Amino acid sequence: MKSPFYTAEHDAFRDVMRRFVDKEIAPFAHEWDEAGEFPRVLYRKAAEIGLLGLGFPEEYGGIAADQFMKIVASQELARAGAGGISASLMSHTIGSPPIARAARPEVKARVLPQVLAGEKISALAITEPGGGSDVAGLRTKARLDGNHYVVSGEKTFITSGVRADYLTVAVRTGGEGAGGVSLLLIEGDTPGLSRIKLKKMGWWASDTATLHFDECRVPAENLIGEEGQGFKIIMQNFNSERMGMAAGCTAFARVCLDEAIGYARERKTFGKPLAQHQVIRHKIVDMAQKVAASQAMLEMLAWRLERGESPVAEICMMKNQATQTMAFCASEAVQIFGGAGFMRGIKAERIYREVKVNAIGGGTEEIMKDLASRQMGL
């Protein structure tokens, strides 16, 4: 049944995205996953169809987009069943919004057009080895020295960290706590910056890095917003990031469902297709039920955001709902595939390996529950 939230414009963009994924990503997803990276030219190709510019200011090459256009983009990308490609290809959606929102006009004009054209890669660097979502407790320091900040410290688990040309980095310019946090734009060729590529359980095609800043000198005009305002700017990113993750996870769950249905209709055991065994049919119905519930919740929240609401508690719960749905459907799909589900190459196997990164990234399930409960006044 067609959702009432999507217009002809959304449908047209979905068609563009589907052709792009079918031609430029899906045929190479397994190869790129095994290689641990994908070609940089994919960024330019994504920019050509308007994908990279969604929601960014038109003056810098962006395209006006509502919440549902962003859902279309996330969910069509997920059809390739390769979360690592989606994560790095779209890392600018968390790295560049602070620039668009709060950087100096000359910095915006220099950086954003290159990123949105797919010529440069943008990443966000907040997490540190000593703390994940504890932004207020970060330790990377930046001291002002003349017309430069001198940055020393370390970040880790940074998506696109190896290849990023522009890093939006959370640093401590003041005292302890949230009030001492600022944001700096640090360019990838800055002397003193070194990067270590990390090996992961999933998202193999996404480069993920630990970054070391050894007395890196960063022009003072690269400060994003005012000193001490970094925490507030970072918090403004989270609703969008979590909605994007929820959209993708729900779509990955649907990919597992579709792949399991296709396999169950073809694979025969005990003289009949798997789909004719009651236990398999029940598994598939359970998967479909969870996907439908997650999609409905996602779209209702998107509608509320479009109306100007800020349902933080529900967005936190939505992220958990979507990641749990993804985990359930990935597990059941692999079970339905049996031994074939344990072999590399099918979408369900890749998605199964990527479950945990979604349940952790953007705030763990435990943090989401705590934030939601506080928003509820508990």
Catalytic residues, which ones? 241
DSSP code, position 224: E
Q: Which helix (H) or strand (E) holds 320?
A: helix 312-337
Could you tell me where the DSSP H helices lie in 200-311?
A: 230-266, 278-306
| C-alpha triplet 87, 88, 90: angle, nearest 5° | 70
Residue 91: what residue type? S
Measure the CA–CA gap between 210 and 215, rounded to whole angstroms: 16
Nearest to 125 by CA among 240, 237, 5: 237
Name the token pair of 206.
């996404």
DSSP 111-158: HHHHHHTTSS-EEEE--BTTBSS-GGG---EEEEETTEEEEEEEEEEE
Question: What SS3 class is residue 212?
Answer: strand
Checking DSSP bridges between strand 166-172 and strand 122-125, what pairing results, if any?
A: parallel
- Is residue 246 within 8 Å of 322, Cβ to Cβ? yes
Measure the CA–CA gap between 219 and 206, rounded to whole angstroms: 29
- Is residue 17 within 8 Å of 73, Cβ to Cβ? yes
Backbone angles phi, psi at 183, to 5 degrees: -120, 135
For residues 56-77, one letter each, b for 16 or more C-beta atoms within 10 angstroms of the residue's C-beta and e for the rest, the string is beeebbbbebbbbbbbbbbbbb
Find where tokens 């003072």 sit. Answer: 220
Measure the CA–CA gap between 163 and 359, rounded to whole angstroms: 25
Measure the CA–CA gap between 81 and 21, rounded to whole angstroms: 10
